[in-house]
């Protein structure tokens, strides 16, 4: 689970672990992940493994390091991948700093792409697997209203939606035991 330190990522981790799923979460905040891990351990059945991994999903080498740590601590097979990490920012292409735009796009789009590149081979190695990519309602409507630009976030979430839809077909052909869902909160 990427972005496991807070919000939807935290909720995913707590629900999965309460059902006995072993969970590997990553986030940029060790403190937030420690809190999530504590919440998970409170309700998880005995023997459930919950690991935390510092990772900025906009940096491919960090996502690959996360994968290596997951493999070392959980084994070579993964059944579920939640590409959930996201941030806001980079609202206006014209008025906001390019670095803000690129950071938002990097986390919200490239985090999904790098996550799939890193982990899909581990999902393909399983008997049954599922990729869940988090997009947004802004992947349908590129606006927060007529006076609020939301360019980077919307463009990234449109990319996640389109990629996920295309990946459904790609995996149906080349790895039919791996399915894909896109979530549009």
How open is the CA angle 97-3-70, to the nearest 5 degrees?
125
3 has pLDDT over 80: yes
Helices 151-174 and 98-105, axial angle in degrees (round to 10): 30
Residues recognised as catalytic: 153
Which among 15, 85, 76, 77 has a CA at the least distance from the CA of 50? Answer: 15
Which pLDDT does position 138 carry in this prediction?
87
pLDDT tens string 5-61: 999 999 999 999 999 999 999 999 999 999 999 999 999 999 999 999 999 999 999
- Distance, CA of 179 to CA of 66 (rounded, Å): 22
Which residues, in sequence order, are CB contacts of 159 under 8 Å at separation 6+?
109, 112
Is there a contact between 69 and 51 (Cβ–Cβ < 8 Å)? Answer: yes
Task: Write the CA distances from 62 to 26, 36, 57, 65, integer angstroms.
Answer: 10, 20, 7, 5
- Report pTM: 0.96
- Distance, CA of 158 to CA of 65 (rounded, Å): 27
- Distance, CA of 96 to CA of 103 (rounded, Å): 12
pLDDT tens string 68-78: 999 999 999 99
């Amino acid at each position: 689970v990427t972005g496991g330190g807070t919000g939807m990522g935290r909720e995913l981790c707590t629900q999965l672990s309460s059902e006995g799923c072993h969970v590997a979460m990553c986030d940029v905040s060790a403190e937030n992940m420690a809190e999530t891990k504590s919440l998970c351990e409170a309700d998880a059945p005995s023997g459930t493994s919950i690991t935390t991994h510092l990772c900025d999903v906009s940096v491919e080498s960090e996502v690959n390091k996360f994968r290596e740590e997951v493999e070392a601590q959980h084994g070579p097979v993964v059944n579920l991948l939640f590409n959930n990490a996201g941030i806001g920012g980079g609202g206006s292409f014209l008025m906001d700093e390019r670095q803000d735009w690129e950071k938002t796009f990097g986390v919200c789009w490239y985090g999904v792409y790098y996550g799939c590149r890193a982990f899909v081979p581990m999902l393909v190695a399983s008997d049954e697997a599922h990729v869940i990519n988090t997009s947004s309602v802004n992947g349908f409507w590129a606006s927060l209203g007529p006076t609020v630009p939301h360019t980077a976030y919307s463009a990234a979430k449109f990319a996640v939606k389109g990629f996920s839809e295309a990946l459904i077909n790609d995996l149906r052909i080349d790895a039919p035991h791996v399915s894909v869902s896109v979530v549009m909160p």
